[in-house]
Amino acid sequence: MTRDGAVEDVVETLLRWEVDEVSSAEVVGDAARAVADADVDEWVVALACLPSDASANDIEDVLERVAPDIGFPVVPKGNPEAVLAAAFVMVRRCAAGHIAERDLARWMHTVIGHDRSQELERLVVLDDVYDTVEYSSDTIGSVDAEVRGEVDRLAHLYPHV
């Protein structure tokens, strides 16, 4: 794996951690894999050196110390900026084929919710469409295609993540 790819994986995991999508142990594990696979920045090494049962406070302490070196915004868990960044990570994961269209729409509805992001609202609504597809002229395939269209539209809108 390349250095950039390894660091990007850790950044994605951190953004998902900020919205409670992954555990602290997964953050430490991904950082350790990155250290094993590539020559990475010191902040990744610092995360990898944490115990696998590190607390959220332990991870936040490392991130606060190394924030200038990271290259992405460090924001407190639950912060709207963290939620938005995690949403765009999920969009890119779907674009890369790592998660299914239905799963992305469900995640958006659960984590983002209605009327919180104009950019992401259509994906939130599409979760409702999936839920009612049997009562409409839509098909799972047509809704999947609409999600893919939204993913294509959104995939590059949040470049600093």
90-94, 118-122, 143-147: the lowest-pLDDT one: 90-94
Q: What angle do CA 92, 109, 119 make, to 5 degrees?
A: 55
Instruction: With cut-offs at 50, 70 and 90, classify the pLDDT of residue 4.
Output: low
pLDDT over 80 (residue 76): no
Q: What is the pLDDT of residue 148?
A: 96
Distances (CA, A) of 90 to 33, 46, 68, 84: 21, 25, 25, 10
Is the whole-model pTM more than 0.95?
A: no
For residue 80, give the nearest of 117, 43, 45, 119 by alpha carbon.
117
Token pair, residue 74, equals 């460090």
Q: Any idea where the domains of the chain sit in the sequence?
A: 3-70, 80-154
Evaluate if residue 12 carries a pLDDT over 50: yes
